[in-house]
Amino acid sequence: MTGGPDETPDQRGSDHAADPGSVPPRPIRAYPDLGVRLASAIVLIAIALIDFWQGGVWVTALVTLGTGLMIWELRRMLTPRLSLKDPAMWCAITAGGASIVVTGFHSLWVGLVLLPAGVIPVLLVRRGHTFWMAAGIVYISVAMALLVEMRRHPEFGFPLVLWLVSVVIAADAGAYFAGRLIGGPKLWPKVSPNKTWAGAIGGLVLAVAVGAGFYFAGQVTLPWLVALSAVLAIASQAGDLLESWIKRRFGVKDSSSIIPGHGGLLDRFDGLIGALWAYALLTLAGVAGG
């Protein structure tokens, strides 16, 4: 006889031990999607490492492709029934991609001048949550253009990008494992029911450890590098929460299904976008900057 609903797990386990004919309960897997997530992450990291190591046109091409896909995912999240032939969407994708290309071959500020060419048609057409789409184009494209601009530095570009991306990955991985292993109070259950305070702290601790590693290696010479790593880790988690909030508001589970185990590019790079915006603001304030 199996245990009743009010019995503790220990009581139920003793019943199974006493009854050799009963079927023991299946163990709960703490990381049911870990294999797929890990495999996808390894592939993504390998592609990014090779591409950003090469620099130049390779980085521009990869980031341009990613920017276009993320703008499409944003459109898909906001208005799933909007036609793929929608001209405003293609203006947005073209302008976002062009801003990355011009940044890669000229400069960040010249590249950003092109963004109104994508934002204005979206505002004029007034279909598909106009404000959200226009703001999203700027939010995604500016961050991705900054990533390309960071890599353009011939000497410090690759270590700088490697540090920032490593901090974001550490924040995400630390949050994932600490949250699953420790659990506890939820961080913001109305927005993201699976995120916990333990996960947020675990992500912050691991990101700071990664920042300290870069500091002692001496490859990145930014002032307050470890403290900057902590700030970027928090911004990364804020970017993750922002996308979770938008998805919940519009009733979407994933931005797309491009990446097995992760969803879409926006699901994977929401934290990176948040960290890039924080880095941009800190640079403008004179706190960061290579």
Question: Do residue 179 and residue 199 come from a single domain?
Answer: yes
Per residue of the chain (290 residues), what is the pLDDT tens digit? 444 433 333 444 444 444 444 445 444 455 666 788 788 889 999 999 999 999 999 999 999 999 999 999 999 999 888 788 888 899 999 999 999 999 999 999 999 999 999 999 999 987 778 999 999 999 999 999 999 999 999 889 999 999 999 999 999 999 989 998 998 999 989 888 889 999 999 999 999 999 999 999 988 888 899 999 999 999 999 999 999 999 999 999 999 989 887 889 999 999 999 999 999 999 988 887 65
Structural domains counted in the chain: 2
Q: Which of 103, 120, 151 is the last residue of a domain?
A: 151
User: In the listed set 151, 176, 209, which residue is the last one of a domain according to the structure?
Assistant: 151
In the chain, the amino acid numbered 116 is: P
Phi, psi of 150 (to 5 degrees): -60, -40
Give yes or no: residues 50 and 162 share one domain. Answer: yes
Mark out the alpha helices in 106-224 (DSSP H runs).
108-112, 116-125, 130-151, 157-182, 197-217
In-domain check, residue 20: no
> Where does a domain end: 151, 181, 211?
151
The verdict on 117 and 159 lying in the same domain is no
Range of the domain at 132: 57-151
Measured between its terminal Cα atoms, the distance across the chain in Å is 68
**Length reported for the chain:** 290
Whether residue 116 sits in one domain with residue 208: no
Residue 6 falls within a domain, yes or no? no
Q: With respect to residue 175, please indicate whether it lies within any of the assigned structural domains.
A: yes
